[in-house]
Amino acid sequence: MNISSRNTKYLTILSAIVTVVVVGGAAALTPGDEQVRSTRLIADLVSSIHYSRPRLDDELSSAMLDRYIDALDPNKHFFLAGDVAAFEQYRHYLDDAFRGANTSPAFEIYNIYKLRVEQRIEHALALLGQEHDLTHDESYRIDYEEEPWPAGKLQMDELWRKRVKNDILSLRLSGKKPEEITETLTKRYERILRRTNQQTVNDIYQLFVNAYTNSIDPHTTYFSPHNSENFNINMRLSLEGIGAALRTTNEHTIVQKIIPGGPADLGGQLKPRDRIIGVAQDQGEMIDVIGWRLQDVVELIRGPKNSVVRLLLLPHSSGVDGPTREITLVRDKIKLEEQSAKSSVIEISDGSVMARIGVISLPTFYLDFEARSRGDADYRSTTRDVKRLIGELQQQNIDGLLIDLRDNGGGSLAEATELTGLFIAQGPVVQVRGTRGNIDINKDPDPSIIYDGPLAVLVNQNSASASEIFAGAMQDYGRAIVLGEPTFGKGTVQTLVNLNNYGRRKGQGTGNLGQLKVTVAQFFRINGDSTQHRGVRPDIIFPTADLEDDYGERSLDNALPWARVRPADFARVSGDWFNVEYLRERHDSRVAADAGFKYLMAVADELRRAQDKKTVSLVEKVRRRERDAVQQRSLELENRFRQSRGMEPLTLADKDRDEDDFIEEEDDDDPVLKIKLEEAAHILADHISMRGRYAAHPR
């Protein structure tokens, strides 16, 4: 399309939108000089250093428009079909606009959004004063993502009538009284409007720029000046808070991951994918945060060290009507000592198979950079600690070693390389391909081997980045058998660019321009396969793995694809180490009869059923019956598992229990958490036993 004709269309739609905004009486937001300069720098940076060298063209423009609209109104509760149809005139214009540092379309779209929010909240507040028949047989769609945009005001009014009715019913099911329900929902709806009106130019600009960057890949992100400060705090791990990374989805604040060594990790009550629906300070009022923007929730949770924050949770496994749970956390800094490697011993005695398996649990790949730079002789690092723990375990006469990398999200690449070196002679560990196609190989230069005995690595869907590099190298060398679930699949490298410094170097002036985190490289295993997207596939996959297909990098929009390069020059370890077919047969036979794995599979089925539910009844009796049935099934599953472990059964009244934390022992020795760990130890014990038989009776 000719650019001049695009500009004509743009002016036409701009004129129409401005008219609507003036009629609505809302104050319009417009971009300023800093947004113009930032846009020029970001467009230049992405085109020149991003790993995929993306083209800013009509295809990317189309993706930007869809992503920006979705970011504003993900559940289609504000924009009308006519609004979205009008925005179509931007579909193949945003690339030209962005290239010309013109972000006005984003602000024009937002001004329409702000008007629609004002209209919807006014309607919702009016609905709160009406009677709602909770016996009338009708349903509410909780996930509107795949539905068409409401055609007009009447259809939108009906959608909101059901939404308000559902909000009322949900609070009734949680035990709130009528006056409390009205007060809670009034505050909730008014906050939605207030936060929408309080959005700054920088807020809208960041949202739009990330519609551009996230249309390229999910890890390239722009941080506005305010959010740059928060990002830097998190990177220094000096944030005095709860130690959890959060994101927003459909008006809910979701726990994305738990940071090792933080209050949430040590408390064990907050789980990934839990929804935070309320926040309170110590003994203060619980504030409903449904519909809040992420930054506001983060600032409410953050606070000084040793202060108390209370969170109201809707656990991931509970579904929309599950019981809520309130937890209390004491804010603190992330503790390096709590991130460090720890060891234990599992004794396996299964008929003819007997073995002592040493376990090293590694929550992250850490390195005390400051202490090392100061020249401290005893600075902490993953490799140093693991080396020490291996020595201690060998003194306990272990027969094999298991490295537990479950939930290890990565960390220092150098430590992943050095840790690999403890188990192999010198050689390559990981390949890194940069933007220009150049490949650097990170190697272990030390020929010494600290441990040469039977070795296994246990991973799950949360094992990412440096964890995948270590596990992949162990698998490629044939040095260890990898067990568990396919890993996360985070195989890209990002760098952080300060736009102020970059602009100064480009001679484009300075200002408060923010930062850009941009993907610049990709990891490849020494066999040539990327860890990106697919992750590391274990040699023996536990049955729980099939339940997590929608998780990890492969579930993220626009994740860079799997790729392959030429293998590095390396040699697998000598000898016939693992008879995987034999070990898999033993594993399959064991888990088929194991009450622990049956429990995990049954709980996962319940979870999937709850998460797949797209609509809910608006009849109170039906909702109560469905909720009670879910709780009863969960209790029955738990009690069958407890019985298999010789534990006393529970009743629903026994404790206020988190559906994601079924078992809680006095000594914190959770048998549920041990199910996969013990099976991994069994597999390694089978291998040790098999090797012993082969040694006695050579083939």
Active site residue 465: yes
Active site residue 490: yes
Cα radius of gyration rounded to whole Å, the chain? 27
Chain position carrying tokens 């060290």: 305
Query: Of the ranges 96-105, 233-242, 261-270, 316-325, which one carries the lowest mean pLDDT score?
Result: 233-242
Give all strands (DSSP E) within 13-104, no chain letters: none
**Where do the domains of the chain lie, and which CATH numbers do they carry?**
3-30+55-213 (no CATH), 239-330 (2.30.42.10), 336-576 (3.90.226.10), 579-699 (no CATH)
Catalytic pick from 476, 658, 660, 686? Answer: 476
For the ranges 110-119, 276-285, 621-630, 672-681, the one whose mean pLDDT is highest: 110-119
Question: Residue 303 and residue 549: Cα distance in Å, rounded?
Answer: 36
Res. 336 pLDDT band, cuts 50 70 90:
low
The beta-carbon contacts of 173-179 under 8 Å, at least 24 apart in sequence, are: 173/321, 173/620, 173/623, 173/624, 173/627, 174/323, 174/324
Q: Of how many residues is the chain composed?
A: 699
The DSSP symbol for 562 reads P
Distant-in-sequence, close-in-space partners of 432: CB < 8 Å, separation ≥ 6: 439, 440, 441, 442, 493, 521, 522, 523, 524
Mean pLDDT of the chain: 86
Res. 89 pLDDT band, cuts 50 70 90:
very high
**Model confidence at 696: pLDDT above 60:** no
Res. 666 pLDDT band, cuts 50 70 90:
very low
The whole model's pTM is what? 0.84
Res. 660 pLDDT band, cuts 50 70 90:
very low
On the CB side of 470, CA atoms within 13 Å amount to 35
Mean pLDDT of 649-654: 79
Cβ–Cβ under 8 Å, residues 281 and 309: yes
Question: Residue 417 and residue 419: Cα distance in Å, rounded?
Answer: 6
246-302 tens-digit pLDDT? 877 767 888 877 877 788 887 888 888 888 989 999 888 898 888 787 778 888 888
Cβ–Cβ under 8 Å, residues 401 and 358: yes
Cβ–Cβ under 8 Å, residues 125 and 191: no
408-437 tens-digit pLDDT? 988 889 999 999 999 999 999 999 999 999
Query: Of the ranges 8-17, 132-141, 640-649, which one carries the lowest mean pLDDT score?
Result: 8-17
Res. 385 pLDDT band, cuts 50 70 90:
very high
Tokens found for residue 31: 């971009």
Mean pLDDT of 485-508: 89
Active site residue 594: no
Catalytic pick from 61, 381, 412, 465? Answer: 465
Question: Residue 323 and residue 628: Cα distance in Å, rounded?
Answer: 10
What pLDDT score does 504 carry?
85
The DSSP symbol for 698 reads -
**Model confidence at 533: pLDDT above 50:** yes
Question: Residue 514 and residue 201: Cα distance in Å, rounded?
Answer: 13
What pLDDT score does 388 carry?
96
The DSSP symbol for 225 reads H
What pLDDT score does 634 carry?
87
Catalytic pick from 76, 271, 490, 598? Answer: 490
Tell me how crowded residue 533 is: count the other CB atoms within 10 A of its CB. Answer: 19
Pairing of strands 400-404, 481-484: unpaired
Burial (0-12, 13-18, 19+ Cβ within 10 Å), 409: buried
Which of the pair, 673 or 429, is modelled with greater confidence? Answer: 429
What pLDDT score does 667 carry?
38
**Model confidence at 220: pLDDT above 50:** yes
Residues of the chain above pLDDT 70, percent: 87
Question: Residue 659 and residue 141: Cα distance in Å, rounded?
Answer: 24
Question: Residue 69 and residue 512: Cα distance in Å, rounded?
Answer: 26
Question: Residue 38 and residue 511: Cα distance in Å, rounded?
Answer: 9
